[in-house]
Amino acid sequence: MRNSVFLLSYRNFYTNFGKQFHILEIFIIFAAKNHVMHIIFKSTIVEYYTKHPQSKQPLEDWYIITSKSNWQNLSDIRKVFNNVDYVGNDRYVFNIKGNDYRLIVVIHFSRGRVFIRFIGTHAENDKITDIQNI
C-alpha cells in the first residue's frame, strides 16, 4: 500500500454502567499520488557519461527533472520534455542534447518507476531492431 497512511487511535469508552472499554482503531488514509519518479539506476547514467563526457550535463539535467516529476501519463511527460516518443510496451524515447543521444526507458506510472534500458548515440539507437523489448 504505497500511497497509504496508517493512523492508530487508542480510545477509552465508558458505558452507562461505568465499565471501561478499550478500542484500538486503525484508519487507512489513501494519500493523493504525489510521489516522485524513482529512476533505476542512476549508475547507468553515470557510467555512460564517464565514457562520453559531453553527455554529462544533458543527462544530469534529465535525471534531476525526471526524479522530481510526478508523471501519470505521456501528456505529463510532454509538458516537460516535448521531444519524448512512446514506442510501445511502456517504452519511451527521449532525445538528449539536441538529438545527439537517445535515452530509452520503461516507465511504470502507477509505481513511479523509470527503468533505464538504453543510452546511446542516435546512430547506435538506429541499430536497435526490437525497441519494444529492449
pLDDT tens digits in sequence order for the chain, 134 residues long: 444 444 444 444 444 555 555 554 444 434 344 568 999 999 999 999 999 999 999 999 999 999 999 999 999 999 999 999 999 999 999 999 999 999 999 999 999 999 999 999 989 999 998 888 88
The total of other beta-carbon atoms located within 10 Å of residue 63's CB is 17
Q: Which CATH architecture has domain 38-133?
A: 2-Layer Sandwich (3.30)
- The number of residues in the chain equals 134
Q: Where are the domains of the chain?
A: 38-133
Beta carbons within 8 Å of 90's beta carbon, 6+ residues apart: 106, 107, 108
Amino acid at the residue 65:
I
So what's the pLDDT on residue 34?
Answer: 55
Residue with cell 563526457: 53
The sign one gets for the Cα dihedral 127, 78, 83, 97 is negative
* Separation of alpha carbons 108 and 105, rounded Å: 10
| 75, 86 contact by CB (below 8 A) | no
CA–CA distance from 99 to each of 94, 96, 115, 125 (Å)? 8, 5, 20, 11
